[in-house]
Amino acid sequence: MAEDAQPQLYLITPPDLDLETFPDVLSRVLDTHEIACLRLRQAARDEDRLIRAADTLRELTHARDIPLVIEEHLQLVERLGLDGVHLNDGARSVRAARKQLGQDPIVGAFCGGQRHEGMNAGESGADYIAFGPVAETSFGDGRVAEDELFAWWSEMIEVPVVAEGALAPDRVAALAPMTDFFAIGDEIWTADDPVSALTGLVSAMR
């Protein structure tokens, strides 16, 4: 990343979003801050609910020229007119996803804190590599993606890097010079005012 470039914002939906209220909240966020991408994350395996969520969010994002990617559900990308897929299994599914979707749709890969896995995913055709969490959390296996990983990646690898997980303002400030995107989800959706919460994180980048 260029030294004078500010990281872009990549939003992740709540895993159990309320289609009655979330679209209005999301619209306020999208109209306040410049968002590079939105990821639809759904905990439920109800296909009808997933499709309704995708249809609703696609209207909001595409009206603002923001790409919408879906987490894991590769088979729904083309069917629902989405812009790509985010994969959580490192490099394992990237090549197959790229083969199925072709070269234009977005294929992203979450690689935890594993440099080698990230490199394999990039070589397999991923458009970005996400590392995280960037601080200790009670979720996952307890491992943290260290600052030195982002510093090395941003200096040595051309594939864009995304920081996600446990993005408190101090971590955002520390990582801003060495990441291309911040993937932000619960950090703002659990706040009373998501717009203000995101504004605080954006301020920490500067």
pLDDT over threshold 90, residue 4: no
Predicted pLDDT of residue 2: 42
Q: What is the pLDDT of residues 25-80, one digit of tens each?
A: 999 999 999 999 999 998 877 889 999 999 999 999 999 999 999 999 999 999 99
- Burial grade of 170 (CB within 10 A; 0-12, 13-18, 19 or more): exposed
| Runs of H (alpha helix) within the chain | 22-32, 47-62, 76-79, 94-101, 115-123, 147-156, 169-175, 186-189, 194-205
Predicted pLDDT of residue 3: 52
Predicted pLDDT of residue 142: 76
Superfamily of domain 8-205: Aldolase class I (3.20.20.70)
Predicted pLDDT of residue 43: 81
Using CA atoms, how far apart are residues 77 and 71, in angstroms rounded to an integer? Answer: 10
Q: Say which residues have a Cβ less than 8 Å from residue 142's Cβ, sequence separation at least 6.
A: 136
What mean pLDDT, rounded, does the chain reach? 95
| 3-state SS assignment for residue 96 | helix
Q: Are 104 and 81 in contact (CB under 8 A)?
A: no
What are the residue ranges spanned by the domains of the chain?
8-205
Closest residue by Cα to residue 164 from 206, 125, 135, 199: 135
Find the mean pLDDT for residues 154-162.
97
pLDDT over threshold 70, residue 139: no
pLDDT over threshold 70, residue 140: no
Give the lowest-confidence range in 97-101, 137-141, 158-162, 199-203: 137-141
Q: Are 87 and 103 in contact (CB under 8 A)?
A: no
